Structure 1
Amino acid sequence: MSRSFGTRRLSAGLAVLALAFTTAGAATAAQAAPYAPAGSTTAAAEPGPLMNYAVNTKASYPHVKRVEQAVKAAGGTVVQSYAQIGVVIAQSTNPDFRTDVRVGRNGREVQSVGATRTAAVSEGPVGSAAGVKLTSAKGLMAGEAAPVADPREAEQWDMKQIKADLAHNVTDGSRRVLVGINDSGVDDTHPDLAPNFDASDSVNCINNGVPDTTAGAWRPTTSSHGTHVAGTVAAARNGVGIVGVAPGVRIASVKVVNDDGFIYPEYAICGWIWAAQHHMDVTNHSYYIDPWEFWCKDSGDQGAVQESVRRAVEFATKKGVLSVAAAGNSNYDLANKTTDNGSPDDSTPAPRQLDNSCLDMPTELPGVITVASTTQAKARSSFSNFGLNKIDVAAPGSGILSTLPGGGYGTMSGTSMASPHVTGVAALMKSTHPWWTPRDLEKALRKEADDTACPTTPDARCTGTTANNAFYGEGIADALDAVTRH
């Protein structure tokens, strides 16, 4: 599977409500001295590589505070605490941190703990002066009158396939609706994106998952991926270039991809909590979370991290955020997992056996809309992952024209390009039905999708029926039905 889904990743009484992002005092560089947990007779361990961990506990301020104390006693630094979901992101050079954090009364509050990556932290210690570059993603890349076409709209076959061009006769979307582009950064100076860009709700999450709201920190440098995704969702109807699926809604950049193209769990969790606290309606996730293509529930670190990310998605969903994600570009049957030869991708990959409890995150998590890719001929894109009852809907993803940094335009292919079409459709739905919950949007996306049969040339991998099959799920997304059938 390719790395990113481009063409180939107060008072205690108010704490639960107010603690969106909590840092434990002034963060300091991780200690360099040997560690032993407080009160322990265990021999001190020599420092190891600087690592980040997800530590899970009960979702309440008192439980999280005790775990924070356990982290410090184990020679760690608290990076971020999320009392809402009972997750603490910690950092340590203690090689025995997983064991030591469970020692003592406070340690008994720890439900599970897991390293978020297999390579040492590249950002440097929390609180250090180490610079964090902006990102580059790996991979392949309503009104009554009829809308006036933008100059390159005729080239957008993808908008016709999902009937967005017809939906625009009904609505271009509402300014009340805010969509998060959780990706490698968005060029808000692009003339097709600037009219719809919301800088006040944008953030950079790639410094160990600590939110950075410095002006422009959420922009890309070398990556065009997030800007391309943003254009598909909401390029403005302004007489310039192209038009997005929902050209009347607002977009915010939530940067979760670092300069090496990695999306580590702490980045992704930061993105979901930010989206929830900033009242986003829909978020697009055209990536999988590193370093494991599939995170296995019964595999120590992976199981703990899987639970942390699941909680973040669940929290965002309860706060009204619908998450839409790319299915992946490995031409892999998500319903019948067997092996993984490319993980971990941040150190040394090794072949391993899988079962269906191993999840491609975020696309396989509960409450996330999984999107497969189609070609202009409505065939499944050859790279697109598939799987019966795994794919929710399909959308165009091969050769998609959209915005590029610096005011440009270009084509990219991948389920990364398919997902923002569905995100745009969901934004149009939310515009016409502002009272709908994420569950309502999810049901409608499936219901209004156009049933698409398996190929006429038999393909044993396309199991299921015309109404719901492994290649297209419930069918190809339909923007027109999304705004007219309710």
Structure 2
Amino acid sequence: MIAAASALAVLSGVIAAFTLSGAPAQAADKIEPSVRADLADDGTATFFLKLDDGADLSAAWTKPTDDARATWTFDELRHHAETTQASLKSILDARGAAYESFWIANTIKVTGDASLADALAGRPEVTGLLSERVAPLEEPTSTQDADASSAPQPGITQIGADKVWSQYGATGKGIVIANIDSGVQYDHPSLIGNYRGNKGGGNFDHAYNWYDPTGTCVTAPCDNNGHGTHTMGTMAGADGYGVAPGATWIAAKGCEARSCSDTSLLRAGQWILAPTDLAGKNPRPDLAPDIVNNSWGGGRGNTWYQKIIDSWRAAGIFPAFAAGNFGYGKCGTVDSPGDNQSAYTVGAVDATGTVANFSGLGPSSIATGKPDITAPGVDVVSTVPGSGYAKMSGTSMATPHLAGAVALLWSASPALAGDLKATAEALNNGATDKDDRRCGGDAAFNGVYGNGLLNIAKAVQDAPRGNAGVVSGTVTDKTTGKPIPMAAVTATGPQTRATATDAAGHFTLSLVAGDYTVAAKLYGYGDASARVTVTAGGTATADLPMAPAPSQKVTGIARDARGRAVPGATVELKGTPLPAVTTDATGRYTFPKVAQGAYTADLTAPEPALCYGGSTTPVTVDGDETADLNVPWRADALGWHCEDTRPDWADTRETLTLSGDEDATTVTLPFPVTVHGRTYATVNVTTNGTVNLLAPRLGDYQNVPLGDVRQPNGLLAPFWDDLTVDGRASVRTATLGQTGHRRFVIEWRDVRLSGTRDRVSFQVVLAETGGVTFQYRGLSGDAERGASATVGIEDAGGVTATQYSFELPVLRDGTAITFGK
């Protein structure tokens, strides 16, 4: 754990808060009491917005290379965050609020006042507002200086790492290892040689190799605590200190000094998946590490870091976590995030292999199999700042033994690299059983030692090396015989491994011995496969000729729910490299040549989306295909949506007593009107282009996005802006039609946009049969088309809204928008 004991107790509150699932019944219930307390203290607070469970990353394993997995995972996470956070960012931008978005956990850190907190809590996509906290770091359970030594440290020999060096020649070479910790002294004599930023000749490039979100030492690695340098030395240090001295290391400073803020931990977790330059810009997921050590944690039963761990795993990054230092013989004391299912969690033993008295014990209240394993964590000598060495104790010291062991395993057995499930099985099966049933379990697995004491020599011995072989081959065009580069090749059998062909169409996979189906896929070709048997030490050949797939025409029309053509929609044929196309004026799209196969047509509504949502439609191409696509309404939580309709401009004659820049009046309706399930007998009309269903005047001086619990609520906003009813303008009404089919019309005629010469005319039509229509006349120029206005409807609670636009010049002369179910 950070600073070895690392009981990040204060963190437990924010951790617990991040586990909220589903939207609370009331907006106020979403705001954590500590946020309310901060707001009451000085009027502002910093808090996190909890959103959904994040992007679906289940398809990451199908990507052909580790770099491709990381890049795909990064793209999916960022796209999901951009999509789901868009409306919230619009609100924050409109308020001028300070905020920071995190794509890896789909959360936003915000600083604002009570009105902003209430507005955000009212958004349906927000499930919680959670405090920003800083967690203290505790000192190691014991620390003392130590002399330099060239012999392998006792913990290294205890787990058999020295045997792996000598018997298999594996030292971790080719594996990149990282830690999230207090930093690293990069030029320590035992660490400088394999720092990825060391370019030789005394030259260093820290970009993409070091990240300090705390602002302590941004331009070059440092360690103002000592803990991070110690854990890195145990993982990758030279001179007998590191388990994997051949591994390359990078680092993120997720902890300020004696504390780790949740902000720094989130930033660091994001950087691990996509390292950046020193300014935190230009992410490169292809430079992500293979393994990340996390000797920090606090609290129990909390899943706030679970999304980050899952994202790492999707990218093929092995997540090692400490079990915590507050066991003291009590069961159920594994700290979070180490008690999360996705973490691989490490307890500590002493030189005799006996569990340390401080080591966190299982079981976990939220996961099975914790801790996963134990490793040396008592009196561990490793590197510290000042180019020295020190002896420390804690599960913080045990975890880097495990992280380094994974680097050894992967360098000795490339067939396991990136295969996290198979890697965990190899570590667990290789561990020396320790029978201690006081926290449940048996000799093979129990809540004290997990699967036992780490034995990397045994894990490597049993790994797919001697009993592994190779399958290689070339993917070619069946017609021309030419090699096909970038084909995805997957071997399925005792294990599943994937790669991509090189420029010569060649591929190689290291596999555990057994029978496999090797298959090649690439757009434009039919699939090809072959059965092979991989033998220990042998090389099997699987040449895969792929037949070019015939190309067919795919076309169709995008229509809305009423069967009307939708022009300007974007259609992308997923599973192909073909560029997206746009529907024409008749709603038609065409892909002239599409290789035969099964795909999905993803439709994105015209920009801005306005009344339409998107859709996904399966398309199987086995001949010329006609695939018409549905363009659904973008409905709110109560089922209301908007649609563009034909205007029916009404002649209004009765003038309301409204004038000036800020005025309102109450109007009795000729028939009751129901909006969002609530019925009204009167409405309140304002000079600022709104109909307030609840009150004459409740703060509509500045338009904001709808779906905001701040007043005004219960709003019809045909053109909410700062408007003036001067001598040339008027606000009028009319009742039209026969009983049962009447329409009540409110018209703003030639009202002026305050401070400009622009004027607008628009009407709200309330139908006795249900629904609300906005219609417009005489619009020209961006200001008159809504560049600074809010358009849409909002329910009485301010939580549910159908917003047509916010400060977008999208209104058109002679058009109408109807809202209803």
TM-score by length of 1: 0.70
CA distance in 1, matches of 2:361, 2:115: 40
Pick one of 233, 236, 243 that aligns with 1:234: 236
Shift, 1:256, TM fit: 0.5
Residue 28 of structure 1 aligns with which residue?
none
- Residue 433 of structure 1 pairs with residue 451 of structure 2: no
Q: How many angstroms does 1:181 deviate by?
A: 1.2
Q: Which residue in 1 is equivalent to 2:193? A: 195
| Alignment CA distance shift 1:185-1:66 (3 Å) | same
1:161 maps to 2:168: no
Q: Is residue 243 of structure 2 the alignment partner of residue 245 of structure 1?
A: yes
2:133 — aligned with what? Answer: 117
Instruction: Name the counterpart of 1:87.
Output: 106
User: Do the aligned partners of residues 469 and 153 (structure 1) sit closer, same or farther apart at CA in structure 2, a change above 3 Å counting?
Assistant: farther
Q: 1:376 — aligned with what?
A: 351
Counting only pairs closer than 5 Å after superposition, residues 51-62 of structure 1 correspond to structure 2 as: 51-57=46-52, 59=55, 60=80, 61-62=82-83
Q: Tell me the SS of whatever aligns to 1:384.
A: coil
Equivalent position amino acid for 1:53 in 2:
F
CA drift at 1:86: 5.6
Contact persistence 1:185–1:254 (CA under 8 A): yes
What's the offset of the Cα at 1:246? 0.5
Structure 2 partner of 1:220: 223
* CA deviation map 1:238-271 (0-9, x unaligned): xxx4331001001111111112x22222222222
The answer to whether the 8 A contact 2:306-2:342 is kept is no
Secondary structure (helix, strand or coil) at the match of 1:461 reads coil
Given candidates 90, 93, 102, the residue that maps to 1:69 is 90
Q: Deviations over 1:285-321 (max 9, x none)?
A: 00115xxx2365xxxxxxxxx34x2111111110011
Q: 1:443 to 1:112 in 2, by over 3 A?
A: farther
Q: SS at 1:367's partner residue? A: coil
- Superimposed CA distance per residue, residues 127-182 of structure 1 (whole angstroms, 9 cap, x where no aligned partner): xxxxxxxxx953115xxxxxxxx972446211111011111112343432111111
Structure 2 residue 357 is matched with structure 1 residue 362: no
Alignment match, 1:451: 433
Q: In the aligned structure 2, how far is the partner of 1:76 from the partner of 1:87?
A: 18
Matches within 5 A, 1:8-19: none
In the TM superposition, residue 66 of structure 1 has moved relative to its aligned partner by: 2.0
Higher mean C-alpha deviation, range 464-473 or range 393-402: 464-473
TM-score scaled to structure 2, two decimals? 0.42
1:41-69: per-residue Cα shift (whole Å, max 9, x none)?
A: xxx98853542414324541221222322
Q: Distance in 1 between matches of 2:315 and 2:353?
A: 35
> What is the CA-CA distance between 1:274 and the residue it aligns to?
1.5
Q: Which residue of 2 aligns with 1:100?
A: 119
In 1, Cα distance between equivalents of 2:216 and 2:48: 20
SS in 1 for 2:386: coil
The one-letter amino acid of 1:421's match is H
Distance 1:367 1:72, change over 3 A: same
Q: Which has a greater percent of strand?
A: 2
Secondary structure at the aligned position of 1:402 is classed as strand
| Kept after mapping to 1: 8 A contact 2:45/2:112 | yes
Q: Does 1:465 align with 2:469?
A: no
1:419 matches 2:399: yes
Q: How many residues in Structure 1 have an aligned counterpart in Structure 2? A: 373
Q: Compared with structure 1, are the counterparts of its residues 440 and 108 closer, same or farther at alpha carbon in structure 2 (3 Å cutoff)?
A: same
The separation in 1 between residues aligned to 2:134 and 2:160, in whole angstroms, is 44
Per-residue CA distance 1:189-208 (angstroms, 9 max, x = gap): 1010001112343333443x
- Partner amino acid, structure 2, of 1:227: T
Q: How does 1:116-155 map onto structure 2 within 5 Å?
A: 116-117=132-133, 138-140=138-140, 152-154=149-151
Q: CA shift at 1:365, angstroms?
A: 1.8
CA distance in 1, matches of 2:397, 2:115: 42
Partner deviation per Cα, 1:212-234 (whole Å, 9 max, x = no partner) = 99421x4212x110000011001
Aligned CA distance change for structure 1 residues 220 and 204 (closer, same or farther; 3 Å): same
Work out which of the residue numbers 265, 269, 272 in structure 1 matches 2:269: 272
CA–CA distance in 2 between the matches of 1:153 and 1:138? 30
Structure 2 equivalent of residue 78 of structure 1? 99
Between 1:195-204 and 1:443-452, the stretch displaced more is 195-204
Of the structure 1 ranges 88-97 and 388-397, higher mean CA displacement relative to structure 2 is found in: 88-97
Q: Is the 8 A contact 2:329 2:357 kept in 1?
A: no
Specify the SS of the correspondent of 1:168: helix
> Aligned pair in 2 of structure 1 residues 3, 50: CA closer, same or farther (>3 Å)?
farther
Mapped contact 1:273–1:315 kept (Cα < 8 A): no
Q: Which SS does the other structure have where 2:229 is aligned?
A: helix
Name the CA distance, whole Å, in 2 between partners of 1:467 and 1:45. 54
* Shift in alpha-carbon separation, 1:212–1:477, aligned structure 2, 3 A: same
**Of 442, 452, 463, which residue of structure 1 is paired with 2:424?**
442
* Fraction of identical pairs, as percent: 26
Given that residues 152 and 162 in structure 2 are in contact (C-alpha distance below 8 angstroms), is that contact kept between their aligned partners in structure 1? no
User: Contact 2:6 / 2:297 at 8 angstroms: preserved in 1?
Assistant: no
CA gap 1:94/1:263 in 2 versus in 1, 3 angstroms: same
2: CA distance between counterparts of 1:77 and 1:373?
42
Distance 1:175 1:8 in 2: 34
Tell me the CA shift for residue 332 of structure 1. 5.8
Tell me the residue number matched to 2:169: 171
1:71 to 1:433, Cα distance in 2 relative to 1, 3 A: farther
Match of 1:181 in 2: 179
Q: How has the CA–CA distance of structure 1 residues 334 and 244 changed in structure 2, closer, same or farther, with 3 Å as cutoff?
A: same
5+ residue gaps in structure 1? 10-43, 120-135, 142-149, 297-305, 338-358, 455-459
Q: 2:370 aligns with which of 384, 390, 394?
A: 390
Give the Cα–Cα distance (whole angstroms) in 2 for the partners of residues 294 and 51 of structure 1: 24
SS at match of 1:473: coil
Segments of 5+ residues of structure 2 without an aligned counterpart are 9-38, 56-79, 142-146, 198-206, 275-286, 364-368, 464-821
Equivalent AA in structure 1 for residue 421 of structure 2 = R
The answer to whether the Cα contact below 8 Å between 1:151 and 1:242 also exists between their aligned partners in 2 is no
Write the distance in 1 (CA, Å) between the matches of 2:209 and 2:415: 24
Q: Secondary structure of the residue that 2:347 maps to in structure 1?
A: strand
Return closer, same or farther for 1:118/1:393 CA change in 2, 3 Å cut-off.
closer
- Deviation per residue, 1:5-39 (Å, 9 max, x gap): 35886xxxxxxxxxxxxxxxxxxxxxxxxxxxxxx
Instruction: Compare relative contact order (CA 8 Å, sep 6+) and give the higher one, 1 or 2.
Output: 1
Equivalent residues of 2:7, 2:137 under 8 A apart: no
Are the structure 2 counterparts of residues 245 and 76 from structure 1 closer, same or farther at C-alpha, using a change threshold of 3 Å? Answer: same
Superposed CA RMSD in Å reads 3.0
Structure with greater Cα Rg? 2
1:32 corresponds to:
none
Measure, in 1, the Cα distance between the counterparts of 2:358 and 2:152.
23
Name the CA distance, whole Å, in 2 between partners of 1:333 and 1:370. 18
User: 2: distance between equivalents of 1:45 and 1:417?
Assistant: 42
Q: Which moved more, 1:312-321 or 1:55-64?
A: 55-64
Q: Distance in 2 between matches of 1:151 and 1:92?
A: 48
Give the partner amino acid of 1:220: D
CA offsets 1:369-406 (integer angstroms, 9 cap, x no match): 11010001111101111114311000000000111111
